[in-house]
Amino acid sequence: MTITRRSSLALPLLATPAIAQTWPARQIRLVVAFPPGGASDIIARLMAPHMGELLGQQVVIDNRTGANGQIAAEHVARAAPDGYTLFMGNAGPSALSQALLGARLTYDSVRDFSFISLVSAVPMALAVHPSIPAENLQQLLALARTRPGEISYGQGGTGAAPHLAMEQIAHLSGTQFNAVPFRGGALAMAAVVGNQVNMIVDTAPVVLPQIRDGRVRGIAITSAERMPQAPNLPTVAEQGFPGWQATSWGGIQGPANLPEPIIARLNQVVVAVMARADVQETLARQGVIARSSTPAEFRVHVAGEVARWTEVVRVANIRAE
């Protein structure tokens, strides 16, 4: 049979409704770039059973750690675009690694992914081990100036949002800190509690419980306004950096070229999950703000994040290790 150009172009259009009708036919993997206990993992494990219920197939968590999430992101970028491999993306591997590494990154943060929906906005928090003689950000910066490069902070990976946010604060204040990368925020937090490093900057779900339990001392929150979950923790902006803010985020992505009907169905499911009052309340207790978006809005957001943090990396002269 001879296929004309007109008929060959029409074939994908005829095929996509069938894809939508048969998908999903088996369990879906939601790849998380960090170990259990971090913000991405917490959000993914909360969402997965609700997504599975709406999709009629189990959604299983696949933790693939390393290289600030780049291993997991590259795995998803190279996966078959069939809707069975999804990514719990966040600011680090989904945008900031591009800002830090540029063309050296093995995937493109926008071109190599399909975008489903934003799911969260996650303020970050700074905290110190109780042995550090600082009660607020200005005292901490003053201490760092007397001991340049000696005050260490744990962060969940080079190029992650906490790392770039802290490095920007250091640049703006003319101070030096010793960044110690870990394979996820939970491991960095354990190192601070154990007094192996002096302080931490990481997402609120990782840091706030330890502040509440008195294991670390809260210094600042990176959101524009104080958080209801920690009303006594002042913002960075309040402590000498007017207008400054930095918030991590999360979103569901897939490999590039996911069929549009699958993207539309996933978006519908994710938006429904994030609209659940119990999901919003559970996340809020841990310092996470539930979000949702259209696929197009999510793509624009990531492109904007790459542009913003590329400039921060340039101005602060941040180098990948």
* pLDDT on residue 205: 82
> How, if at all, do strands 28-32 and 199-203 pair?
unpaired
Reduce the DSSP state of residue 114 to 3 states and report it: strand
Cis? peptide before 130, omega within 30° of 0: no
Give the model confidence (pLDDT) of 68-88 as tens digits: 889 999 999 999 999 999 999
CA distances in angstroms from 274 to 21, 57, 174, listed in the order given? 24, 18, 40
Q: How far apart are CA 123 and CA 229, in angstroms?
A: 11
**Domain 27-121+247-316 in CATH: superfamily?**
Bordetella uptake gene, domain 1 (3.40.190.150)
* pLDDT on residue 15: 44
Q: Is 27-121+247-316's fold the same as 123-239's?
A: yes
Handedness of CA 163, 274, 29, 251 (dihedral sign): negative
Lowest-pLDDT choice from 196-200, 262-266, 283-287, 300-304:
283-287
Q: Which numeric CATH code is attached to 123-239?
A: 3.40.190.10
The model's confidence at residue 220, banded by pLDDT at 50, 70 and 90, is very high
Residues with Cβ within 8 Å of residue 45, at least 6 apart in sequence:
36, 61
Q: How far apart are CA 277 and CA 292, in angstroms?
A: 14
Helix residue ranges, H only, 213-294: 260-274, 277-285
> Is a pLDDT exceeding 50 seen at residue 14?
no
Q: List the domain boundaries for the chain.
A: 27-121+247-316, 123-239
* pLDDT on residue 7: 34
Give the model confidence (pLDDT) of 223-253 as tens digits: 999 998 899 999 999 999 999 999 889 999 9
Q: How far apart are CA 302 and CA 96, in angstroms?
A: 9
* pLDDT on residue 229: 87
* pLDDT on residue 116: 98
Q: Give the pLDDT mean for 19-43.
A: 89
Q: Give the pLDDT mean for 170-187.
A: 89
Give the model confidence (pLDDT) of 87-97 as tens digits: 999 998 999 99
Reduce the DSSP state of residue 49 to 3 states and report it: helix
* pTM exceeds 0.85: no
- Cβ pair 39, 203 in contact under 8 A: yes
Give the model confidence (pLDDT) of 113-163 as tens digits: 999 999 999 899 999 999 999 999 999 999 999 999 999 999 877 777 888
CA distances in angstroms from 25 to 20, 176, 232, listed in the order given? 10, 53, 49
Mean pLDDT, the chain, rounded, equals 90
* pLDDT on residue 76: 98
C-beta atoms surrounding 269 within 10 Å: 21
| N- to C-terminal Cα separation, the chain | 57
